Each structure stands twice: as structure tokens, then as C-alpha cells.
Amino acid sequence: MSFFGFGQSVDVDILLNDADSRRRAEHKTEDGKKDKYFLFYDGETVSGKVSLALKNPNKRLEHQGIKVEFIGQIELYYDRGNHHEFVSLVKDLARPGEVTQSQAFDFEFTHVEKPYESYTGQNVKLRYFLRATISRRLNDIVKEMDIVVHTLSTYPELNSSIKMEVGIEDCLHIEFEYNKSKYHLKDVIVGKIYFLLVRIKIKHMEIDIIKRETTGTGPNVYHENDTIAKYEIMDGAPVRGESIPIRLFLAGYELTPTMRDINKKFSVRYYLNLVLIDDEERRYFKQQEVVLWRKGDIVRKSMSHQAAIASQRFEGTTPLGEARTPGPLSDGSSRQ
């Protein structure tokens, strides 16, 4: 449709050079749905074409310049007017002039730094996208294409176990241990719980995986807790001396790597929450932070093989009786 005679409208599209071979990854959108996007890693080149297709080949399109940008930005939902850009690259594709026929412009952003993982949370969104802009006097024509970035990490084999001795004086005394403190997103959490003293009637025990999203700074800090998983350990009353094994497969849950102080705007941390419920519905719990990280897909092992390795490592650790860090078990005091 012509707009006051200034030119014909145009269809703009962004096409990646390696679109046929590049992997796609599922990513959650703001409305909770999942879509697939082209997947990139830190340091990879982003190249392609901006395609312009005139709807009416007999009409020309006047413009003040054509450009393409690669942008990484953080948007806090309570401050939607401000977009905090941490990556901003620009390529000019055409000087001011006219587009008289459909055409395509090549672009390349070489070895682009992508320091953070794409993330859509309760109060914040971190996104990467390409944006093509045809500048005009009255109204710019803009086309955006989102991509997803995954950050890969490697951790040394030395990965200390978590050992804790907790309890309520003269009522309950337990020791628990998890085989590691850092887990990759497809890992298996292996552990055990040992009851030294039981004088309250425990009827149920579970481990929850809790994601805690923190946004803002100073007085404007928001915490959002989300229970990702509930894993039942025991149903029934334990007795003194009983040992309860734990084996929790992470692959089936929607997890991201741990993110600490991303661009001084937000953090995402994960906790294992040990919950005991007595016969009067009182809840006792103890939280322990764990670090999650994303491992590359170069070496693929079956989950059963991962579980076997995790078990072997765990069985070779220090016995629970030598747990070091005592602390009181928190009383949830809420009846849920």
C-alpha cells in the first residue's frame, strides 16, 4: 500500500547463510509457550542476507538508509521502557536512496561475543536478535529475528560433595549427603539421608528443586521462587539408623545454568530443598544451593551410564558419619 506517495511497502526477511545446517533449540517465550530458534554459541559468526521484496514491482521505495544490527539485551518486566543492551553491533547495508526492485543485502558479524545465555523468566528476559531497519522520513520498516544462545562450561573432576548434619534438639537428628555440588543439566543427583535420632512422627519426605530468580538492586530487589520438581524420598515413618538413598535425574526438568549477577541486572540460582512433614502437617526443611552448568553435546552417554558413574563416585566419598557442617533444621512453621 502506498503511503502518501513516498513509496511502496516492502516485505523484509532475514535469512541466515547456514539455516539449513544450523541446529535449533527450544526456548520458552513470555507467554509460557515453547518455540524453536536457531542456536548459537559465544564467538560464533552470524552471517546471512536481508531480503527486500517489493509488493508492487512498479513502485519504488524511498529510504534514508538500510542497516542490520545484532543486539543482546536485558529487559526487566517492571521497567519495560528501558532495554539494557550489552551487545550492539551495526552494519550499514545501503545509503539513502531508492529501492526499485526486489534485492538482498549480505551481512556478516564476525566472531560475535555472546557472554550470557538466553533466558526468559518471571521478571526478566535476556534475548539476542537480528534487526533489519529501512529508515524512512515518517515510519521506519523494521524486521526482527530472535536467536538462542547457550553458554557451555567445563568443570574440573574435583567436585566436592555436600555433607550436612542437621536437626532439632532432642527431636530429630539427620545427616544427608549429595555426591556433588555442581551438576550439568543432564546429570544425576545421587545422595543418601541417615537418621540418627527420630522422636517426631515423620510421615513424608521429599526433595524439591527450587529456582530462585533475583532481579533489581538495592531497595528494588525482587525474588521469585519457582518449584521446578518434587521428588518423593520416603512415604512412612523412618526409624533410627535407617538410611534412605536418593537418585534424581535432572534431564526431565526444565532447567537453565546457574546465572550469577548477569550484567548487574539479575541472577538465577538453584537449591535442593529437603522437606520433612510430620503427622500434624508441620513442615521442616533445609535448603542447599547447587550449581548447574551446561555441558557440550560432543560426548553423549546414556542416562543409565551416567547414573552408574555417579553411584561409583558417591560410594567412594567420605562416610556420612564424618559430616562436618552442623546447623539447625529450619522449621517451616507453615502448615501447607
Residue ranges per structural domain of the chain: 10-149, 162-296
162-296 topology per CATH? Immunoglobulin-like (2.60.40)
Task: Quote the pLDDT of residue 297.
Answer: 61
Report the C-alpha gap between 201 and 73 in whole angstroms: 51
**pLDDT at position 329:** 52
The mean pLDDT value for 299-311 works out to: 39
pLDDT for res 327: 36
For residue 236, pLDDT beyond 80? no
Task: Report, as an integer, the average pLDDT of 205-226.
Answer: 90
By percentage, how much of the chain surpasses pLDDT 90?
53
Q: What is the CATH number of domain 10-149?
A: 2.60.40.640
Q: Who contacts 248 (Cβ-Cβ below 8 Å, separation ≥6)?
A: 188, 189, 207, 209, 229, 231
Residue 34 has pLDDT above 60, yes or no: yes
- State residue 296's pLDDT score: 78
For residues 218 and 21, what is the distance between their CA atoms, to the nearest angstrom?
45
Percent of the chain with pLDDT over 70: 85
Q: Looking at residues 68-86, what average pLDDT do you find? A: 91
Q: Report pTM.
A: 0.81
Matching CATH topology for 10-149 and 162-296?
A: yes
Within 10 A of 1 (CB to CB), how many other CB atoms are there? 7
Higher pLDDT pick, 150 / 165? 150
Identify the weakest region by mean pLDDT among 42-46, 157-161, 177-181, 306-310. 306-310
